[in-house]
């Protein structure tokens, strides 16, 4: 029996909320709070006769700590699931601390305004010291560690698929398969086809920022940064087939490098079709990915926000998408003095996801782990006070929950390695 406050009602939150409502014995009361209340109301109305979870809805501006605190004090939740955007991570964490509530999210903090001089100063210093230039990193949220610990509260960061399940796979490999892990390759393949010439599978602004940034990987104790999309590999994915994939910077590399310090190399690859890349390069070249406001006929416009308004809403892709995703980790390392390799992954079918929760697999593979992470926190399995990433907790009950609630693992002890 618990009360949960969900912030955000977009593609991922929709899946997480629907899955929570399938477990009313744990998620007995749920408040959906987001910027556009009509979206929360529409979802609540749809779920009303399908669940005994008591759902309420409310409008909130999650950029305002004051508004969030008023809402948390009024609703008194056991947990706040922040499934809005990475821009709101710090305000929601501040409100959770002020009100004494546990916190979780699905992506690490990045600022909405990357031209903000105060943020830039810290960012420029971090780029120089750390050696990677992505706009997001864990330092902002790790800075809350001591405060959460002292308050006896738990903050679970990045509990989607990647980040999220990818780190649970690493913890699982470390616990059961290896004495020592040498290399980790995280492979994220989306073999889905939505039929549009160009669309993103989750929030376009966050997605396009991520894939247009320089790539980087962790090797022998430091970051190696490369121009965007300059390392390409081909891989034959189980149930999907041969795909081109590109090395990207990704947030879980940063926490894994700290939490599994013996690892010599950690890389992240994501598949992209040629058409997607051509569109993206063109949009970037003409300035449509910029976050800097411009004045257009007397109106201030942020190009990437305008682009978001033109592109298909990721939530609308569900009924059109067919094909499968395949996301997982390939490890090399040693067990009992012998070299070994291991691949753990999940295959998810876009159409089956749509039949179950009216959403495509990218939102599904993020929303289900968010629900399972909340389940771990609410049932006393992941409760260490402080600010933690997924690999810091016992992976077994989490992977068992994923097996049960829609994202079962597959394993191979003889995978083809990525050169």
- Closest to ligand NDP by CB, 151 vs 250, is 250
Residue selected from 9, 43, 157, 260 as contacting ligand NDP according to rule CB under 6 A: 9
- Closest to ligand NDP by CB, 106 vs 326, is 106
DSSP letter string, 308-367:
HHHSPPGGGSGGG-BSEEEEEEEEEEEETTEEEEEEEEEEEEHHHHHHHHSS-HHHHHHH
Using rule CB under 6 A, residue 60 touches ligand NDP: yes
Which tokens belong to 254? 């940063």
Residue selected from 3, 39, 194, 249 as contacting ligand NDP according to rule CB under 6 A: 39
Using rule CB under 6 A, residue 13 touches ligand NDP: yes
What whole-number distance in Å separates Cα of residue 16 and Cα of residue 55?
14
CB of 260 to ligand NDP, least distance (A): 19
DSSP letter string, 225-289:
EE-TT--EEEEEETTTEEEEEEE---HHHHHHHHHSTT-SEEEEEEE--HHHHHHHHHHHHTTTT
- Closest to ligand NDP by CB, 73 vs 150, is 73
Our CA dihedral for 358, 363, 365, 371, rounded to 10 degrees, sits at -80
Residue selected from 20, 21, 31, 34 as contacting ligand NDP according to rule CB under 6 A: 34
Using rule CB under 6 A, residue 344 touches ligand NDP: no
Using rule CB under 6 A, residue 85 touches ligand NDP: yes
Using rule CB under 6 A, residue 328 touches ligand NDP: no
Residue 125: enclosing H or E segment and its boundaries? Answer: helix 117-130
Using rule CB under 6 A, residue 111 touches ligand NDP: no
Q: Is 192 helix (H, G, I), strand (E, B) or coil?
A: coil
Sign of CA dihedral 211, 213, 215, 218: negative
CB of 62 to ligand NDP, least distance (A): 3
Using rule CB under 6 A, residue 110 touches ligand NDP: no
CA dist list (Å): 213 to 122, 226, 230, 247, 394: 18, 10, 11, 11, 32
Residue selected from 3, 11, 123, 148 as contacting ligand NDP according to rule CB under 6 A: 11
Residue selected from 111, 163, 191, 215 as contacting ligand NDP according to rule CB under 6 A: 163
How many chain residues interact with ligand NDP (CB under 6 A)?
Answer: 33
Percent helix, strand and coil across the chain, each rounded to 5?
A: 40, 25, 35
What whole-number distance in Å separates Cα of residue 265 and Cα of residue 151?
36
Using rule CB under 6 A, residue 346 touches ligand NDP: no
Residue selected from 62, 72, 247, 330 as contacting ligand NDP according to rule CB under 6 A: 62
Using rule CB under 6 A, residue 199 touches ligand NDP: no
- Closest to ligand NDP by CB, 180 vs 403, is 403
Residue selected from 154, 203, 326, 346 as contacting ligand NDP according to rule CB under 6 A: 203
What whole-number distance in Å separates Cα of residue 323 and Cα of residue 285?
31
Using rule CB under 6 A, residue 318 touches ligand NDP: no
Site residues (vs ligand NDP, CB under 6 A): 8-13, 34-36, 39, 60-63, 83-86, 88, 106-107, 158, 160-164, 202-203, 206, 314-315, 366
């Amino acid at each position: 029996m618990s009360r949960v406050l969900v912030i955000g009602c977009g593609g991922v939150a929709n899946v997480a909320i629907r899955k929570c409502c399938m477990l009313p014995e744990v998620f007995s009361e749920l408040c959906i709070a987001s910027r556009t209340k009509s979206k929360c109301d529409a979802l609540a109305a749809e779920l009303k006769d399908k669940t005994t979870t008591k759902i309420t809805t409310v409008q909130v501006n999650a950029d305002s700590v004051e508004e969030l605190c008023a809402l948390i004090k009024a609703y008194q939740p056991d947990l706040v699931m922040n499934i809005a955007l990475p821009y709101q991570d710090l305000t929601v964490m501040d409100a959770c601390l002020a009100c004494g509530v546990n916190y979780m999210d699905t992506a690490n903090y990045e600022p909405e305004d990357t031209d903000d001089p105060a943020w830039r100063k810290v960012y420029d210093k971090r780029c120089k010291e750390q050696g990677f230039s992505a706009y997001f990193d864990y330092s902002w949220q790790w800075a809350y560690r001591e405060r959460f610990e002292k308050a006896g509260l738990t903050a679970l960061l990045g509990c989607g698929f990647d980040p999220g399940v990818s780190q649970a796979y690493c913890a699982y490999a470390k616990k059961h398969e290896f004495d020592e892990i040498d290399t980790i390759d995280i492979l994220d393949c989306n073999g889905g086809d939505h039929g549009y010439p160009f669309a993103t599978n989750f929030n376009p602004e966050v997605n396009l920022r991520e894939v247009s940034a320089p790539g980087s990987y962790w090797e022998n104790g430091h970051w190696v940064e490369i121009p965007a999309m300059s390392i390409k590999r081909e891989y034959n994915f189980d149930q999907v087939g041969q795909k081109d994939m590109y090395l990207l910077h990704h947030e879980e590399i940063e926490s894994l490098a700290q939490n599994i310090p013996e690892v010599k190399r950690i890389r992240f690859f994501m598949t992209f079709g040629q058409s997607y890349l051509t569109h993206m390069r063109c949009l970037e070249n003409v300035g449509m990915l910029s976050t800097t406001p411009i004045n257009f006929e007397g109106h201030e416009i942020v190009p990437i926000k305008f682009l978001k308004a033109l592109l298909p809403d990721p939530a609308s892709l569900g009924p059109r998408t067919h094909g499968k995703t395949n996301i997982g980790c390939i490890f090399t390392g040693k067990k009992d003095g012998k070299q070994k390799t291991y691949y753990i992954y999940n295959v998810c079918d876009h159409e089956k996801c749509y039949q179950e929760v009216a959403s495509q697999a990218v939102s599904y593979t993020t929303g289900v782990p968010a629900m399972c992470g909340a389940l771990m926190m609410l049932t006393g399995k992941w409760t260490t006070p402080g600010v933690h990433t997924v690999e810091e907790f016992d992976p077994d009950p989490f992977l068992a929950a994923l097996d049960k609630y829609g994202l079962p693992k597959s394993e191979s002890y003889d995978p083809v390695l990525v050169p």
